[in-house]
Amino acid sequence: MSSDRLIRGAKVIGRSLGISERTARRWAAKGILQAHKVNGRTSPLTARKSDIDRLKSHLAYEEGE
């Protein structure tokens, strides 16, 4: 499934959500964004495309309220 594809890198994840790289890292640390580092501290932040799309939909819904 293409929606279960992994997106790597805080910059790419942030760009997908319309937020900065730093915000993507903060949201991942706070649990707002379902993302993790696969091989420890120095590996890139990784998230499933389906999780990014779900968060994008949630943000768009909140913006419309």
Q: Which two tokens stand for residue 4?
A: 């279960």
Average pLDDT on 28-34 reads 96
Total of domains in the chain: 1
Say whether 60 sits in a helix, a strand or coil: helix
pLDDT of residue 41: 80
Banded pLDDT at 1 (limits 50, 70, 90): very low
Note down the domain range covering 19.
2-64
Residue with tokens 């779900």: 54
The answer to whether residue 18 scores a pLDDT higher than 60 is yes
Helix axes 10-17, 49-64, angle to 10 degrees: 40
Q: What is the DSSP letter of 34?
A: -
Q: What is the pLDDT of residue 65?
A: 66
In whole angstroms, give the CA distance from residue 51 to residue 42.
22
Q: What CATH number is given to the structural domain containing 29?
A: 1.10.1660
Q: Give the pTM.
A: 0.84
